[in-house]
Amino acid sequence: MRINDLRRHLRRLGAAACALFFIVLASPALAAFSLTTVYDSGSASKVQYQVDTGGGLVFKVMAYDNGSSTQSKGDLSSILYNGVQYADASRGSQLNSGFDFLYSNVSAVDVQAQMISSTGVATLASTANGGVVSGGAYVKITVTVFSANGGVLKHYYMARSGEPRIYMGTYFTEEPDTLNLVRFIVRVPIAALSQGGPAGTPGGVDSSGNWPQDLRSTDTTVEASDVFGISGTGQTRSKHYSNMRLKDWQYFGGRNSAGTVGLWFYRDNNEGNSGGPFYRSLLNQITATNNELTYIVNYGEGQTEAFRLGVLNSYTLMFTGGSAPPAPDTSWFSVMGLDGYVAPAGRGAVAGVGLSGTDGNFTYTVGFSNATAQYWTTANLANSGYFKATGMRPGTYTLTVYKNELAVYTGSVNVTAGGTTLLNTIAVNADPASTAALWRIGNWDGTPTEFLNGGRLTTMHPTDSRMSNWVPSTFVVGTSTAAAGFPAYQWKDVNNARVITFTLTSAQVKNLTLRIGTTEDFNGARPQVTVNGWTSAVPTAPAKGSRNMTVGTYRGVNRLYSYAIPASALVAGTNTLTINVVSGTSGTAYLSPGFSYDAVDLIATP
């Protein structure tokens, strides 16, 4: 039936039916892509910029300061998707704790909005035509803050016509100093997003059907103000336990109770972060009121290198029908006028013929880092260890080959725009495992996962009831196993004085070297050893960092301690080795000085 015929038919049925026709006819169509200037409470001093993506998502950005400590200029104040509100109206979704609290003694925030054409022509937000600007392909809202020292931070909210996504980018020339980190938190009402991610994803449900970051069943505080317990089960929960190694994830998020809507953060190549491919940090936290999605640009816990500046860090908040999000296309960023952006044509690549001297039991990662950026790629051992890293900013990089997470080769490589630097086969030359040992506990791979409790470190607190006793009996070389008899972590105030017994023949009684590898340390902890009646010197104290061993990461600075044991200290038969944590810093229980084990072995003195 033609439309005109249908209209004549409806007129015969009456006005009510005709009105219903036009509602139904219009309902499948999405709203037009637009940028609208709106006034809160009708006041021209209370401006918000509203973006209708034309894809079911309408969001607002505050352009005024309402005097609230939980809402500030530059916040995402509304995220309305298919009629459901995904932004907590009482607390802003914001960078750090608000744009007016990024730098000391600075509260001025500037917010500008533009409609952008497909070729990059910008039209400023306007109060004309009812405040509506349309007809473009993209929207860009820029939030700018200057520090008292002249540094600048720019945060971009962007939208692309027809997509239910908020593209974001954060660029800064000076690290925000009030919190000493950069993160964006989206606070979603729990009724709208009641679940975390599915199993196998960052922050996903664990084997027991729980989210390690779900605080809704907790009733006790275990540590500080961010680790909690369930008194009935002895289990622990924390936002920190939603973590996963950077190289293992591209997105995280949550879903509604029906599983029909998913809200996800999808990250870029993370070139502006610090910590490399194995860095872990919190991702989200589920409470009785909110599901908080936290995208970390950089973070101080477990920090192993200086923060990077002058890079556009991009990440996308994406709605789906509940399924995992696809990789977003960001090629159109090239027309958006974004500080710190480098287009693909201005980037280069590195390709290596292969690696030699590898162990097929481990994955090898090739990392690249300098003061500006970081990258990594996985070597293909099935193809002689071939590797290729793409999308790199031009410059000179330190190239590091990792056996799992342990650096076993370090070199240098130069990257040029538009080119691929070709490398000959790299020979792994710094693997401690290549030296034969009289005995060895654990694997030289930069992780403690093969030790007692090693598989639980990233998803629960050391006091969790699912942990085995941290004080195993004496480790007997040749009888005991690392998984059951040697702890992944050792603390001065919990399980100090770890005892190992081993047997030597008379021919083996000679000058020997004990090696202890650690993956992180807390409060200046380092190992001192005693063999029979002989005691080693105390190693130099490592630099002190923030709390790290109880917040879901064993990743820090890998250290190798060597102790030259004289033949006179050894006997044919049973020998007793004791490892102690030493530190000039005090602390109690699981916040006392401690370190994480990589491996322990005894070798002939070189």
The 3-state secondary structure of 81-105 reads ECCEECCCCCCCEEECCCHHHCCCC
Tens of pLDDT, residue by residue over 14-30, are 433 333 333 233 333 34
Which among 500, 517, 515, 513 has a CA at the least distance from the CA of 569? 513
50 has pLDDT over 80: yes
Tens of pLDDT, residue by residue over 519-538, are 999 999 999 999 999 999 99
pLDDT given for residue 14 in this prediction: 44
- Output DSSP code: residue 507: G
343 has pLDDT over 80: yes
Phi-psi region of 372 (alpha: psi -120 to 50; beta: other; left: phi over 0): alpha
Percent of the chain with pLDDT over 90: 91
Q: What is the mean pLDDT of residues 487-499?
A: 98
Residue 257 contacts by C-beta under 8 Å, 6 or more apart in sequence?
194, 195
The whole-angstrom separation of Cα 257 and Cα 191 is 8
Tens of pLDDT, residue by residue over 141-165, are 999 999 999 999 999 999 999 999 9
Strand segments, DSSP code E, in 269-416 are 284-286, 290-298, 313-320, 348-352, 355-356, 364-369, 374-378, 387-392, 395-403, 406-415
Task: Give the largest CA-CA distance in the chain.
Answer: 111
Task: Work out the number of other CB atoms within 10 angstroms of the CB of residue 210.
Answer: 16
379 has pLDDT over 80: yes
At 510, list the tokens: 């000679």
C-alpha of 67 from chain center: 32
Which residues in 510-534 are b (16+ Cβ under 10 Å) and which e? eebbbbbbbbbbbbbbbbbbbbeee
Strand segments, DSSP code E, in 484-537 are 489-491, 498-504, 512-522, 526-531, 534-535
CATH 3.30.420.40 given to domain 344-430: no
pLDDT given for residue 544 in this prediction: 87
The whole-angstrom separation of Cα 446 and Cα 401 is 12
pLDDT given for residue 19 in this prediction: 33
At 63, list the tokens: 């352009």
Length of the chain equals 606
Tens of pLDDT, residue by residue over 52-98, are 999 999 999 999 998 776 788 999 999 999 999 999 988 889 999 99
- What backbone torsions phi and psi does residue 506 show, to the nearest 5 degrees? -65, -30
Task: Work out the number of other CB atoms within 10 angstroms of the CB of residue 187.
Answer: 26
Tens of pLDDT, residue by residue over 367-378, are 999 999 999 999
411 has pLDDT over 60: yes
Which among 131, 143, 213 has a CA at the least distance from the CA of 171? 143
581 has pLDDT over 60: yes
Burial of residue 552 (CB within 10 Å: 0-12, 13-18, 19+) is: buried
The whole-angstrom separation of Cα 446 and Cα 454 is 12
Which residues in 557-581 are b (16+ Cβ under 10 Å) and which e? ebbebebebeeebbeeeebebbbbb
Burial of residue 422 (CB within 10 Å: 0-12, 13-18, 19+) is: exposed
Residue 131 contacts by C-beta under 8 Å, 6 or more apart in sequence?
36, 37, 38, 125
Residue 208 contacts by C-beta under 8 Å, 6 or more apart in sequence?
none
Mean pLDDT of the chain: 94
Domain boundaries, the chain: 1-30, 34-335, 344-430, 433-604
Q: Is residue 142 within a helix (H) or strand (E), and if so which, with residue range?
A: strand 138-146
Residue 281 contacts residue 213 (beta carbons within 8 Å)? no
Residues 241, 245, 248, 253, CA torsion sign? positive
**Among all chains, which residue has been given the structure tokens 């960001």?**
330
Tens of pLDDT, residue by residue over 275-284, are 999 999 999 9
Selecting from 3.40.50.10860, 2.70.98.10, 3.30.530.20, 3.40.50.620, what CATH number does the domain 34-335 have?
2.70.98.10
- Three-state SS at 6: helix
Tens of pLDDT, residue by residue over 179-201, are 999 999 999 999 999 999 999 89
Q: 446: pLDDT confidence band, cut at 50, 70 and 90?
A: very high
Residue 276 contacts by C-beta under 8 Å, 6 or more apart in sequence?
246, 304, 305, 367, 369, 374, 376
pLDDT given for residue 31 in this prediction: 67
CATH 2.40.50.140 given to domain 433-604: no
- Three-state SS at 244: coil
pLDDT given for residue 302 in this prediction: 84
pLDDT given for residue 301 in this prediction: 85
User: HSE on the CB side for 85, CA within 13 Å?
Assistant: 13
Task: Indicate the pTM of the whole model.
Answer: 0.93
Alpha helices in 87-190 (DSSP H): none
Which among 489, 496, 467 has a CA at the least distance from the CA of 548? 489
Q: 232: pLDDT confidence band, cut at 50, 70 and 90?
A: very high
Between the CA of residue 295 and those of 202, 256, 556, what are the distances in Å?
12, 19, 21
13 vs 99, higher pLDDT: 99
Helices and strands (DSSP H and E) totals, the chain: 3, 40
Task: Work out the number of other CB atoms within 10 angstroms of the CB of residue 129.
Answer: 9
**Among all chains, which residue has been given the structure tokens 């977003």?**
328
- What backbone torsions phi and psi does residue 503 show, to the nearest 5 degrees? -110, 135
Residue 19 contacts by C-beta under 8 Å, 6 or more apart in sequence?
none
Residue 132 contacts by C-beta under 8 Å, 6 or more apart in sequence?
34, 35, 36
Q: What is the mean pLDDT of residues 43-53?
A: 96
pLDDT given for residue 22 in this prediction: 31
